[in-house]
Structure 1
Amino acid sequence: MTAYFERLGETMFRATRATEGAWNVEEQHIAPTFGLLAHLMQLEHSSRHEHPLTLGKVTYDILGVIPIDIVEVQVRVLRPGRTIELIEATLSHDGRPAAVGRAWFMKAHDTADAAGSAFPAMPPRGGMPTWDAPDWPGAFVRTPEIRRVEEFPGRAHAWVRPLLPLIEGEEVSAAARMLGYVDLANGLTPRVSPSEVAFPNLDLTAHLLREPVGDWIGFDTTMSIGPGGLGITHTVLHDEEGSVGTSVQELTIRPLPFGS
């Protein structure tokens, strides 16, 4: 496995076995799809702007499962602009939409004098043991290097280092690369065993403070479950220079055997 996707044309991509999902190994893990959609929205945006705007927010909705097969992505501009722009990308399999991403791009300004955050710092990864996701099947969760310390079920810190490119032979931005792994958060610290309760996410929204740097992505993750079948996984994202942004996933909590 050399990458998560192979480009077949302007809009067509073949998913590789590296995308094997954690709930079903015959379906794609949604994380690489999120990175793919971010990359293609950035490409479309950059093709029309001499000085591209900054990616600030991405919202993804998962419309259905995605087989490990050829997929198509269509990108359109919902709100063009010189200082703010909204772009949408839809990934389909065999003509059926399976995931939609919407990205806000914003004009950059020099705010270095006001920059700062009250998010707690990540613990250094040097003291963290390697984590091989023993409760999860599928190839994708084993493609990055993961180091994790779990305080208790539902609360953990992890450092993740991507080892495979998103698309074979194609450069992607640091933000798209990071967004291709953020969905890992939902499996980093389950409050209950995935052998007893299913908790797939319906969506993911990421708010960014800046472009990430370096090889490692830090996850400061908390998973919460409500009494009526709803859940939330919240993560503060970091790199080696500090906080980069946040992500939130809405979960559907379902006692096994998994039902519709």
Structure 2
Amino acid sequence: MHYFERLSETTFLASSHTGGAWNTAEQHIAPALGLLAHAIETDRDRRRDDSPAIGRLSYDILGTLPIGVVEASVRILRAGRTIELVEATLSHDGRVAVVVRAWLMQSFETQPFHGTPFPTIAAPDDMPSWDATTVWPGGFIESADVRRAHLEPGRASFWVRTPVALVADEQVSAVARTAGLLDIANGMSTRVSPTEVAFPNLDLTVHLFAMPHGEWVGFDTNVSFGASGIGLTHSVVSDVRGPIGTSSQILTVRPATR
């Protein structure tokens, strides 16, 4: 099982497991975000042998993607020995649907100083399993194993993992695998039923101060709606060792089309 199959150096075929939640005929954007992170790391490792870490991924979602062939491209915006700014795009039929800018950062030994005030969440085994398909349709949601502690509308902590490979028959880093799950946050703690209000996100930015480990990605998530059609989903992101970063998504909130 896989979300994407490589067809060439730059093209990939999406599988039915990428099926979207707002429209099942389109891709859920989550796997596509992971694919772009994988493309950035593949390009990085082709160019250099020191593997600087991804400290930030900032995605802008320009449009939807059908469940078909997509093309990824990568270019360097700011070259450097210790810091690089890289941009990648994902397109279908010549139309760019997602753009991401990533900061690649050299690693240094800072173990004696590491720590964070972000609170930890309960472990995956201490949260009940939750069937997200009771709220959302689509192949991607069906592929996710979710454990969730729902506190109130718009407030939850949860863990997500998937048995589906990001790219068929390819080694994928923990960062790319994590990036491919982050966009699920907007649907795991809804303020209002998506049958009443639509609230798709236009972007996603993740900052990582530690690299992820293990199969589970944890979220401590708050969803806020303003009074004029703008919302925000903000998460502290964790692995099983504790918090590793944050993720934010700006939302366009509007009455659902019936």
Deviation beyond 4 Å, 4+ runs, structure 1: none
Q: Give the residue type in structure 1 aligned to 2:67.
A: I
- Distance, in Å, in 2 between the alignment partners of 1:158 and 1:242 is 13
**Is the Cα–Cα contact under 8 Å of residues 87 and 99 in structure 2 kept in the other structure?**
yes
Could you say what secondary structure the match of 1:4 adopts?
Answer: strand
1:50 & 1:132 partners in 2: Cα distance?
A: 42
The alpha-carbon deviation at position 127 of structure 1 amounts to 2.8
Q: How does 1:132-171 map to 2 (within 5 A)?
A: 132-133=131-132, 134-171=134-171
For 1:116-135, what aligned pairs fall within 5 Å after superposition? 116-133=115-132, 134-135=134-135
Tell me the number of residue pairs that the alignment of Structure 1 and Structure 2 aligns.
257
SS of 1:41's partner is: helix
- What's the CA shift for 1:126? 2.0
1:170 deviation in Å?
A: 0.5
Q: Which amino acid aligns with 2:5?
A: E
- Following the alignment from structure 1 to structure 2, what is the Cα–Cα distance between the partners of residues 229 and 173? 36
Per-residue CA deviations over 1:164-220 (Å, capped at 9, x if unaligned) read: 110010111001000000000000001001000000000000000121111111111
Amino acid of the structure 1 residue aligned with 2:124: R
After TM superposition, give the deviation of residue 139 of structure 1 in Å: 1.1
The runs of 5 or more residues in structure 1 that have no matched partner are none
Gaps of 5+ in 2: none
Which residue of 1 is the match for residue 192 of structure 2?
192
1:38 corresponds to which residue?
37
Separation of aligned partners in 2, 1:76 and 1:62: 18
Normalising to structure 2: TM-score of the pair?
0.98
Contact 2:5 2:13 in 1 (8 A): yes
| Identical aligned residues as a percent | 53
RMSD: 0.9
Query: Partners in 2 of 1:104 and 1:127 — Cα distance?
Result: 35
SS of 1:185's partner is: helix
Q: How does 1:1-260 map to 2 (within 5 A)?
A: 2-133=1-132, 134-257=134-257
- Once the two structures are TM-superposed, the CA of residue 55 in structure 1 deviates from its matched residue by 0.8
